[in-house]
Structure 1
Amino acid sequence: MFADNHLTESLEEVTAFLLSERRKTLSEAEWRFRMRGYGYSLRRTDRGVEVARLPQKTVLGTIQA
């Protein structure tokens, strides 16, 4: 399987990608691990899941997952 390797700042596109990858994993820990490989850091907060781009940890936004 190949990932669509284009850089985007659109939270909608990133959210769609993250949620599609979440459906492929068995646990949230596995999902976070896989997303680090794609350059995203996920952190659970009271408001949802905070998404940041690595390595700078630039926060893109929060998604409901």
Structure 2
Amino acid sequence: MAQADIGGTLIEDGILDLLRQERTKALSAREWKFRIAGFGYAIKDVRGSQVVTKLPQGTELGVLPVQFG
């Protein structure tokens, strides 16, 4: 299982699995972002990378692997 890294913090496999499952269910990136917000996560763009954050604090969990793009 791939793990993303941002500043030494790894995204947990369970979170990546959830994001992957929801991405396959969504018809668009916009719908996917809406779906994962229901689970308490968000995606923000930082210097050309997509970073997973925890809502509502906005705590960065890590950079998404390329295959999510």
Task: Give the TM interval when normalised to the shorter protein.
Answer: 0.7 to 0.9
Paired positions, count: 56
Structure 2: which 5+ runs fail to align?
1-9
Aligned Cα RMSD in Å? 1.7
Structure 1: which 5+ runs fail to align?
1-8
**Which ranges of 4 or more aligned residues in structure 1 deviate by more than 6 Å?**
none
- TM-score of the superposed pair, with normalisation by structure 1: 0.74
- TM-score of the superposed pair, with normalisation by structure 2: 0.70
Q: Deviations over 1:7-44 (max 9, x none)?
A: xx852210111011100010000000111111001124
Query: Identity, % of aligned pairs?
Result: 36
Which is bigger in relative contact order (C-alpha 8 A, separation at least 6)? Answer: 2
